[in-house]
Protein backbone atom coordinates (compact mmCIF):
# COMPACT_ATOMS: atom_id res chain seq x y z
CA UNK A 1 0.00 0.00 0.00
CA UNK A 2 1.43 3.35 -1.06
CA UNK A 3 0.76 6.46 0.98
CA UNK A 4 -0.01 9.64 -0.90
CA UNK A 5 2.59 12.27 -0.11
CA UNK A 6 1.41 15.74 0.80
CA UNK A 7 3.24 18.72 -0.62
CA UNK A 8 4.62 20.64 2.40
CA UNK A 9 3.26 23.85 0.91
CA UNK A 10 -0.25 22.45 1.43
CA UNK A 11 0.20 22.04 5.20
CA UNK A 12 -1.31 24.67 7.48
CA UNK A 13 -1.22 25.31 11.22
CA UNK A 14 -3.61 27.25 13.43
CA UNK A 15 -2.50 30.69 12.21
CA UNK A 16 -2.77 29.73 8.54
CA UNK A 17 -6.16 28.06 9.09
CA UNK A 18 -7.37 31.19 10.86
CA UNK A 19 -6.18 33.35 7.96
CA UNK A 20 -8.03 31.18 5.43
CA UNK A 21 -11.21 31.52 7.51
CA UNK A 22 -10.61 35.21 8.30
CA UNK A 23 -10.76 34.30 12.00
CA UNK A 24 -8.66 35.03 15.04
CA UNK A 25 -6.45 31.99 15.78
CA UNK A 26 -8.16 31.65 19.18
CA UNK A 27 -11.43 30.90 17.40
CA UNK A 28 -9.82 27.95 15.61
CA UNK A 29 -8.71 26.59 18.99
CA UNK A 30 -12.18 27.14 20.46
CA UNK A 31 -13.88 25.30 17.57
CA UNK A 32 -11.34 22.47 17.84
CA UNK A 33 -12.00 22.13 21.57
CA UNK A 34 -15.73 21.91 20.83
CA UNK A 35 -15.13 19.22 18.16
CA UNK A 36 -16.56 21.54 15.50
CA UNK A 37 -13.43 21.75 13.37
CA UNK A 38 -11.76 19.26 11.00
CA UNK A 39 -9.49 16.71 12.63
CA UNK A 40 -5.84 17.59 12.08
CA UNK A 41 -3.77 15.17 10.05
CA UNK A 42 -1.17 15.28 12.82
CA UNK A 43 -0.51 17.07 16.09
CA UNK A 44 3.09 18.17 16.44
CA UNK A 45 4.87 19.84 19.36
CA UNK A 46 4.09 23.19 17.69
CA UNK A 47 0.40 22.31 17.42
CA UNK A 48 -2.09 20.72 15.04
CA UNK A 49 -1.61 20.69 11.28
CA UNK A 50 -4.10 20.23 8.47
CA UNK A 51 -3.99 19.85 4.73
CA UNK A 52 -4.96 23.24 3.28
CA UNK A 53 -7.79 21.65 1.28
CA UNK A 54 -9.45 20.47 4.54
CA UNK A 55 -9.66 24.04 5.79
CA UNK A 56 -10.78 25.45 2.44
CA UNK A 57 -13.61 22.89 2.29
CA UNK A 58 -14.55 23.64 5.89
CA UNK A 59 -14.61 27.36 5.08
CA UNK A 60 -17.04 26.74 2.22
CA UNK A 61 -19.30 24.59 4.43
CA UNK A 62 -19.12 27.12 7.25
CA UNK A 63 -20.07 30.01 4.95
CA UNK A 64 -22.98 28.08 3.45
CA UNK A 65 -24.38 27.25 6.90
CA UNK A 66 -24.66 30.94 7.87
2 within a domain of the structure (yes/no): no
Give the structural domain span for 30.
10-65
In a domain, 31, yes or no: yes
Beta-carbon contacts of residue 50 (< 8 Å; ≥ 6 apart): 11, 12, 13, 17, 38, 40, 41
* Dihedral Cα 36, 38, 42, 45, nearest 10 deg: -40
Query: Which tens digits make up the pLDDT trace of 42-53?
Result: 999 999 999 999
* Residue 50 placed within a domain: yes
What is the domain-level CATH number for residue 17?
A: 1.10.1660.10
For the segment 17-64, what is each residue's pLDDT rounded down to a tens digit?
999 999 999 999 999 999 999 999 999 999 999 999 999 999 999 888
Number of domains in the chain: 1
Q: Look at residue 3 and tell me if it is in a domain.
A: no
Flag whether the pTM goes above 0.95. Answer: no
Amino acid sequence: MTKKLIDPIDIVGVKEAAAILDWDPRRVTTYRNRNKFPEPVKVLAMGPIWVKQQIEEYAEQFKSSD
